[in-house]
Amino acid sequence: MTTDIKAITEKAEQECILLNQIRRELGKVIVGQSELVDRLLIALLCNSHVLIEGLPGLAKSLTVTTLARAIAASFHRIQFTPDLLPGDLIGTLIYNPKSGEFTTRKGPIFTNIILADEINRAPAKVQSALLEAMQERQVTIGDTTYPLDEPFMVLATQNPVEQEGTYPLPEAQVDRFMLKLSITYPTPTEEREILRRMATSTPLPEITPVIGAPEITRLRQLTDQIYLDEKIEEYIVNLVTATRQPDRYGIDPELIRYGASPRATIYLAMGARAMALLAGRGYVVPQDVKSIAMDVLRHRIAVSYEAEAEEKSPEDIVQLVLDRVEVP
């Protein structure tokens, strides 16, 4: 087993060089936001999707478009609006009066990376069409089912402030996103660098594609091989259990309406492995789990009215869980 871990670590160190190249390419355009970049890479390694929440102007869309250019993937940006229809997303059948036949016109969902901008502005039917494609990785138009290309990754953004004219995603649908990221303001130093780079008419630097589909497949296979010890597995299960049976860990059960789903367990393990690979390690340490836990759990815990009355957010509950569950 020790030999296997050593061999995997050697591979991880080699592949980490490639992942660092992606980080450097994104750094040509993106100032700061290193955590956002790493979380997007984790989702890429885990073949999963991300929901990004943040105020306007925090480079959410720019980061996603830059990532697509860095990994040599096809990319579509869809601006979600209240008048958007499912057919505008997945495609539709077009009738040809001359031949009397229907032909398929595929929608923008047939791509590698989708930026679903302001997903909460579209009605429920459109959201469901996107989330079904995320889950099944296929789209049905008429009587024909079409598989989606690999890699297929949905990066959705939503604005937490404007709620007029929005359709909030139901909890069950939000659960399909591996990570929910909360983007904050840059530091004064980062803001000064943004000013120097962006407050001119000079075009943004060119991004050189670093990896393609074959490299992504190889990286995902390596991620699956990262060693996860039984004690780490137990720690992950205990974290999720603490959201469902909080009283066992000294947490007031009145604060949580319902806890995390089994998807949380799966994504904590997958995310921890990806964190280890990003660090050039062939094995998971407890800090990998703790680092990814907030982004995996924050949208899978529903706080009670009592918690809201005490002004406790899902993030506060997750932090409480992390503090109370014993680290191996």
Mean pLDDT value of segment 249-259: 85
Q: What share of the chain is helix, strand, coil (3-state, %, to 5)?
A: 50, 15, 35
pLDDT of 240: 93
Residue 201 has pLDDT above 80, yes or no: no
3-state SS, residue 303? strand
Compute the distance between CA of residue 53 and CA of residue 296 in angstroms, rounded to an integer: 14
The CATH 3.40.50.300 domain(s) of the chain lie at 31-193
Integer angstrom CA distances of residue 249 from 230, 246, 252, 257, 323: 21, 5, 9, 16, 10
Q: Which CATH number fits domain 31-193: 3.90.1150.10, 3.30.70.260, 3.40.50.300, 2.70.70.10?
A: 3.40.50.300
CB atoms under 10 Å from CB of 191, counted, come to 13
User: Which run of H or E residues covers position 2?
Assistant: helix 2-27
The whole-number pLDDT of residue 235 equals 94
Residue 284 token pair: 């998971």
The pLDDT assigned to 231 comes to 93
Fold of 226-324: Helicase, Ruva Protein; domain 3 (1.10.8)
pLDDT single digits (tens) 52-90: 887 777 777 788 888 888 888 888 888 888 888 888 888
* Residues sharing a CB contact under 8 Å with residue 56, sequence separation 6 or more, in sequence order: 159
Share the mean pLDDT of the chain. Answer: 85
* Structure tokens belonging to residue 182: 């909360």
Give CATH 1.10.8.80 domain extents, the chain: 226-324
Residue type, position 79, single letter: Q
pLDDT in tens, 295-326: 999 988 888 888 888 888 888 889 999 999 88
CA angle 154, 157, 51 (to 5 degrees): 60
